[in-house]
Amino acid sequence: MDAPRLSRFTETNAKRAIRVSFEFFPPKTEDMERTLWEAIGRLAPLLPHFVSVTYGAGGSTRERTHATVKRILTETMLTPAAHLTCVAASRAEVDAVIEAYAQAGVRHIVALRGDPVGGIGEKYTPHPGGYRNAADLVSGIKRIADIEVSVSAYPEKHPDSTSVAADIDMLKAKVDAGASRAITQFFFENSVYFRYLDRARAAGIEIPIVPGILPVQNFKQARSFAARTGASVPNWLAARFDGLDDDPATRKLIAAAVAAEQVLDLVDNGVTDFHFYTMNRADLVYAICHLLGLRPGKQQSAHALSDIEIEQA
Ligand SMILES: Cc1cc2nc3c(=O)[nH]c(=O)nc-3n(C[C@H](O)[C@H](O)[C@H](O)COP(=O)(O)OP(=O)(O)OC[C@H]3O[C@@H](n4cnc5c(N)ncnc54)[C@H](O)[C@@H]3O)c2cc1C
């Protein structure tokens, strides 16, 4: 008999329980605030490991990020992780944000350098009195408070980077500074992620490198994000959305199928943790989590895979 596909047993395999985290962005308007909180309300019962809130380019959402994180802390049982960048800010300004988070009870920061002020493609220049890069920021956070730190990883290379090897060196520097988890930029071809994982492990990086999954709610928007972040968009993906510009209902079904294929293949290949770029929308992410075996209010556990094999035999 062929070995069972691990993704068929996510609900009942205690040794390999699936863990998810959700990323949101801070809302700009009251309408967006309502949409965000509807999404949080729908996804919270799936008991994510944590939920993260992004920090706008150049720190432009500092107050809104803080307010959203604080509301998650006070109004939900969720564990928030606040994104923080060091671009265009002095060390004192960034330290004040870290201290405010620590005082508010935030115990997890996603530490990032941030994009250059003039946008991606422009040369990055650190603020004269600021943290030099993401690794330096990780050290700063660890010096100030006992806070868990996650960082970024780029399976297809960061656009500024000269090579994947340089990227891996940067990830190693962030780990050496105290980061305990990396979350990847989104990707659509799983082989890209596994190749990167092999290279990171070969470089002695042992922390979890959690795949960032972008359910394609809107193909044109996803393609434009990809162009900016260095992620590639395979021809087969474009072909799947071809001709659906005016057909949102079919587009959504295709998006669910594409994301399902991706995450189940990752599970089959041993991945248990996933970070979802929700774009503040719950429906696709909820459906994918359901496929992964998550149910409202229930921690995954029960039997080990060996029990299932025995039951089936
Ligand atoms: C999971 C995740 C969450 C993110 N959240 C946010 C957010 O909330 N707000 C936001 O503004 N942005 C966010 N970003 C985007 C991120 O800020 C940008 O990609 C930024 O350009 C790099 O920051 P970093 O910390 O990822 O980079 P780093 O890890 O510091 O660098 C990325 C790579 O670029 C190369 N590199 C860096 N600096 C240089 C240099 N000076 N010269 C040559 N090569 C260099 C290195 O090889 C390095 O590996 C996020 C990205 C990811 C993957």
Out of 11, 23, 33, 63, the active site residue is 23
- Rounded to two decimals, the pTM is 0.94
Instruction: Determine whether 23 is an active site residue.
Output: yes
Q: What's the 133 CA to ligand 1 centre distance in angstroms?
A: 9
- pLDDT tens digits, the chain, 313 residues: what are they? 677 788 887 766 555 699 999 999 999 999 999 999 999 999 999 999 999 999 998 778 899 999 999 999 999 999 999 999 999 999 999 999 999 999 999 999 999 999 988 887 788 999 999 999 999 999 999 999 999 999 999 999 999 899 999 999 999 999 999 999 999 999 999 999 999 999 999 999 999 999 999 999 899 999 999 999 989 999 999 999 999 999 999 999 999 999 999 999 999 999 999 999 999 999 999 999 999 999 998 766 443 444 444 343 3
**For position 54, what pLDDT does the model report?**
98
Q: Which of 68, 113, 276 to mutate to test the pocket of ligand 1 (most atoms within 8 A of CB)?
A: 113
Residue nearest to atom 15 of ligand 1 (CA): 114
**For position 60, what pLDDT does the model report?**
81
SS3 per residue for the chain: CCCCCHHHHCCCEHHHCCEEEEEECCCCCHHHHHHHHHHHHHHHHHCCCEEEECCCHHHCCHHHHHHHHHHHHHHCCCCEEEEEECCCCCHHHHHHHHHHHHHHCCCEEEEECCCCCCCCCCCCCCCCCCCCCHHHHHHHHHHHCCCEEEEEECCCCCCCCCCHHHHHHHHHHHHHCCCCEEEECCCCCHHHHHHHHHHHHHCCCCCCEECEECCCCCHHHHHHHHHHHCCCCCHHHHHHHCCCCCCHHHHHHHHHHHHHHHHHHHHHCCCCEEEEECCCCCHHHHHHHHHCCCECCECCCCECHHHHHHHHC
**For position 118, what pLDDT does the model report?**
82
**For position 89, what pLDDT does the model report?**
95
